[in-house]
Amino acid sequence: MSREYKDSGIPWIGRIPKEWRIGKIKNYYSLQTGFTPDTKNELYYDDQGALWANIADLGREHYIDDTKKKISNLFISKYNPNIVPKGSLLYSFKLSVGSVAITAKDMYTNEAIAAFIKKDDISLDFLYYSSQVCIIFNANENIYGAKILNQDLINNAIIIFPPLSEQQKIADYLDKVCGEADEMIALQEEMIEELKAYKQSVITEAVTKGLNPNVPMKDSGIDWIGEIPEHWNQHQFRRLFQIKKNIAGKLGYDVLSVTQGGIRVKDLTKNEGQIAQDYSKYQLVDIDDYVMNHMDLLTGYVDCANQYGVTSPDYRVFRAIDKTQVALSYYLRIFQTCYKERIFYHLGQGVSGMGRWRLPAEQLKLFVLPTPPLDEQRQIAVFLDSKCSDIDSLIAVKQQKIEELKVYKKSIIYEYVTGKKEVI
């Protein structure tokens, strides 16, 4: 017997099964948002404290019974925040908009998470999937196309749902299908991490051991380097490179940021990241200069500039003393390896817990680098460019597969939570 349909009156939904209901979320759930304590007050955080869900806790597991961060009893007793009861749906409405999870225990949440507390006869498991489709359609967009939600938009989001027995039937089916997709995504992610680790091992091996496994070796005396080819030399950083700092003194230059993806030109039309009051106080960067974020040795990075511009006066800019005597890309691989392998991190000073773990200039100047003959530096650089490109291509294929699986998940959820398809 074919199913009867009716017009929902909602363009993005279209027709729905005749027996399904339509309403606003606020008619079926009460909404509660959380809090974020002063990050400067370490007394408000405690590894042994109460569960406190952040965006990072959502989107990985259907049900969560633990959180990465905990709130201290001191904060709870002082401010008496509302707790989210077990069996509530958590929905991220800032940053990773649409990430969801169901609470398997009572817990607190931060201010970027909306908690739906059940007050009517709707399956929470069904809402877990339905919310991923319905709420986002009620979002606004900022001038950059990013989704924006607030409590009012969430409360007035339209939700459609079948009779309770069918809700659970749909949720159970989507658990199975989406669970299989999630397993395939996890497998692809695992392979990507293995490829990244392999890529870094290839780089480390090449820049410290060379390309010929049969040459005689000698001890470098440096732990992270180990043995090097017998015919290689070693020099301190200061013998090969010089630190420079020339302030621009005027505006009009491209502003360069150092990310873990390399140097990027900052889009000043977007109000993102740290915004300077006066870019004329930034330091000049020339082509072939290295730019290093030495203030954050955990998440910072280093790259070699291929254009003119200015960068933060807090960054470290340096260049080869004689570019004809060093292969810039060979040493770039070494410097980047020192970030990836935490070599620089172990030389840092500061307050790592506050994100200020820097590499002092004097430590960098005395840092010992392997120094192969120039032609061998170039050979290693060419080899790594080719080898890393091949590995990156494999990673890109797996990332594309992940995106396809995520699109598949979204489409299958939409088809079933809007009644386009029926679980038989």
Checking if the pLDDT of 354 tops 50, the result is no
- 137: domain CATH number is 3.90.220.20
CB 370 within 8 A of CB 208: yes
Strand partners, 371: 233
CA distances from 338 to 70, 264, 334 (A): 33, 20, 6
The answer to whether position 130 is within a domain reads: yes
**85 is in which domain, residue-wise?**
21-161
Is the same domain home to 253 and 149?
Answer: no
What are the tens digits of pLDDT across the range 25-37?
888 888 898 988 8
CB 144 within 8 Å of CB 375: no
How many residues are recorded in the chain?
424
- Do 362 and 249 fall within a single domain? yes
Number of domains within the chain: 2
pLDDT surpasses 90 at 352: no
User: Is the model's pTM score more than 0.85?
Assistant: no
Domain-terminating residue out of 371, 393, 417: 371
- Residues 240, 145 share a domain: no
pLDDT in tens, 269-303: 655 555 566 889 999 999 999 999 998 888 889 99
Regarding whether 240 and 138 lie in a shared domain, the answer is no
Sign for the CA dihedral angle at 110, 116, 119, 125 comes to: negative
Residue 253 lies in a domain: yes
Residues 154 and 282 in one domain: no
CA angle in degrees (0–180, nearest 5) for 294-296-297: 75
Other CB atoms within 10 A of residue 388 CB: 16
Say whether both 244 and 151 belong to one domain: no
Looking at the structure, tell me whether residues 136 and 256 fall in a common domain.
no
Per-residue pLDDT at 99 exceeds 70 = yes
| Residues 409, 59 contacting (CB under 8 angstroms) | no
C-alpha to C-alpha distance for 115 and 101, rounded to whole angstroms: 10
In a domain, 10, yes or no: no
251 located within any domain: yes
Task: Share the mean pLDDT of the chain.
Answer: 90
pLDDT at 268 over 50: yes
Q: Is residue 395 part of a domain?
A: no
Query: Which one of 355, 371, 387 terminates a domain?
Result: 371
Domain for residue 201, yes or no?
no
209-241 tens-digit pLDDT: 999 999 999 999 999 999 999 999 999 999 999
- Supply 181's token pair: 């997709």
Inside any domain, residue 226: no
pLDDT at position 121: 65
SS3 229: strand
Amino acid present at 396: A
Per-residue model confidence (pLDDT) at position 146: 64
Q: Are residues 28 and 113 located together in one domain of the fold?
A: yes
% residues pLDDT > 90 (the chain): 66
165 phi and psi, to 5 degrees?
Answer: -60, -35
Among 325, 342, 371, the domain boundary falls at 371
Residue-wise pLDDT for 304-315, tens only, equals 999 999 999 999
Contact 413, 136 (CB under 8 A): no
Q: Is 157 found in the same domain as 29? A: yes
Distances (CA, A) of 118 to 29, 35, 194, 320: 5, 20, 42, 64
Is 242 contained in some domain? yes
Q: Which pLDDT band, with edges at 50, 70 and 90, does 161 fall under?
A: confident
Considering the domain architecture, whether residues 355 and 268 belong to the same structural domain is answered as: yes
Q: Where are the beta strands (DSSP E) in 260-360?
A: 262-265, 283-285, 290-292, 302-304, 309-311, 316-320, 349-351, 356-358
CA dist 388 and 206 (Å) reads 12
Residues 156 and 60 in one domain: yes
